[in-house]
Amino acid sequence: MTSSPQPPTEPTEPHGHSGHTHAGHGPSSGHSHSHSHGPAAPVSKHLRKVIAAVLIPFAVAVFVGMAVLWPGGTPDHERTGVGFDRQTQQAKVVSLELVDCKSVNAAQVPAAGGASTPSGGGARGAQTGDCKKATVEIGSGPDKGRTFVEIVQPGAPRQLADGQEVVVAYAPDAPRDLQYSVIDVNRKLPLAVLAGIFALSVVLVGRMRGLFALIALIVSFGVLTFFILPAILQGSNPLVVAVVGASAIMLIALYMCHGLTARTSVAVLGTLVSLLLIGLLGSVFIDWAFLSGNTDDNTGLIHGLYPDIDMSGLLLAGIIIGSLGVLDDVTVTQTSAVWELHQADPSMGPRSLYRAAIRIGRDHIASVVNTLVLAYAGAALPLLLLFSIANSSMGSVANSELVAVEIVRTLVGSIGLVASVPVTTALAALVVSADRPESPAVAPGSGPVRGGRGRRRKR
């Protein structure tokens, strides 16, 4: 009995290793790294064919959709000089001196009016005291080496320092002395260092799995940058583009991080069902609540530059893409939980597996939904403070489109997350249990391939 499992283990290794699962599949189980080097539970060829029959046409449709909708680049347009649509260059503060604000002519304040320049009553009130007179040298573009003067008043939210790297805006229609103005600080170095620390942490802790996760992250940003955004700007339907792009990101990220296994395929199916539910609910409630999607200066500028873009469709696309990352986490965790439970007790049927795994899912739902709501609340904190200052009632705050958009975004995404738990758990329980009737039939001839392999792992 002990010698028979040994030989069949050899031919099964390529099957287990092909899925890149040597790093361990179970994010919810630490011991899986040493015991689960292949797919966590055996899946028959017939079941793999059934899963492939569902996912391969879907994957083909996604990548055909990308080919059809591929934009070929961002459309050209004439810059308006408003908001982000300005010509910018890199520059550096080469000297800084204190001057009496009263002696500074108001005409010296650049017309482009960066964030360092107060306006209205704040500007008049700041005319007393010492102002900073900064000499700024352009470091890039056709005017490289040219200098200009920037006056920074005491009450300005952003103060300049000698030698500081800054970003300047160029207004070609303004008088020569006022064509350039400081609009921001150059933060590339600290952001690059932080990104390096993040990447190093992920690789050190996650090792090969972490490396694959970083590659998947880069690919996801690539799809977003080179496909989703330009395709929307070209005039394609934002919802269609978001569904195709999000599906591509889901397929690439999940299979790259977790391997070409039945477990990953079940997580893909659970994520897909949840995304469809989010898209349906989002579409219904965006229309019902009359949300235009044009709620701030940035969306207003987009609508002004590209009036053909469906802003409500853009809002729905953002909800779908924003929900995808958390959905991946939930579906992979639930699938892993079912697989690990089946490994721990192969005699459990689909109903028992579902009941055990759904208890894990309920804990996950509570934490994820709370995280999602707090994340949106944190992002909208300045807006909520403004409503608090105005002593607006909770009903008035919720009724405003600015807040209503976030409410719909949060609740629709949360409903999709909640639904993903029972859907994915049920799919995983059915898939894992579907092979159990085959085990006795295969056992006399080649049963040691699976049964022996599973018993050897548990040791």
The string of pLDDT tens digits covering residues 336-359 is 999 899 888 888 888 999 999 998
Q: Tell me the pLDDT tens digit for each residue of 196-247.
A: 999 999 999 988 989 999 999 999 999 998 999 888 888 888 888 988 999 9
Residue 444's pLDDT is 44
Residue 317's pLDDT is 87
Residue 122's pLDDT is 42
pLDDT-derived band at 292 (thresholds 50, 70, 90) equals: confident
What does the pLDDT average to over 292-312? 79
> Per-residue pLDDT for 193 more than 90?
yes
> Per-residue pLDDT for 284 more than 80?
yes
What SS3 string covers the chain?
CCCCCHHHHHHHHHHHHCCCCCCCCCCCCCCHHHHCCCCCCCCCHHHHHHHHHHHHHHHHHHHHHHHHHCCCCCCCCCCCCECCECEEEEEEEEEEEEEEHHHCCHHHCCCCCCCCCCCCHHHHHCCCCEEEEEEEEECCCCCCCCEEEEEECCCCCCCCCCCCEEEEEECCCCCHHHCEEEEEECCHHHHHHHHHHHHHHHHHHHHHHHHHHHHHHHHHHHHHHHHHHHHHHCCCCHHHHHHHHHHHHHHHHHHHHHCCCHHHHHHHHHHHHHHHHHHHHHHHHHHHCCCCCCCCHHHHHHHHHCCCCCHHHHHHHHHHHHHHHHHHHHHHHHHHHHHHHHHHCCCCCHHHHHHHHHHHHHHHHHHHHHHHHHHHHHHCHHHHHHHHHCCCCHHHHHHCHHHHHHHHHHHHHHHHHHHHHHHHHHHHHHHHHCCCCHHHHHHHHHHHHCHHHHHHHHC
pLDDT-derived band at 127 (thresholds 50, 70, 90) equals: low
Residue 365's pLDDT is 83
Angle at 124 between CA 123 and CA 125, to 5 degrees: 90
Residue with the bigger pLDDT between 181 and 73: it is: 181
Of 12-26, 327-341, 394-408, the one with minimum mean pLDDT is 12-26
Residue with the bigger pLDDT between 364 and 197: it is: 197
Q: How far is it, in rounded angstroms, from Cα 271 to Cα 416?
A: 9
Residue with the bigger pLDDT between 175 and 82: it is: 175
Average pLDDT of the chain to the nearest whole number? 76
Residue with the bigger pLDDT between 107 and 313: it is: 313
Could you tell me what percent of the chain has a pLDDT over 90? 21
Bridge partner list, 91? 138, 166
What does the pLDDT average to over 58-87? 76
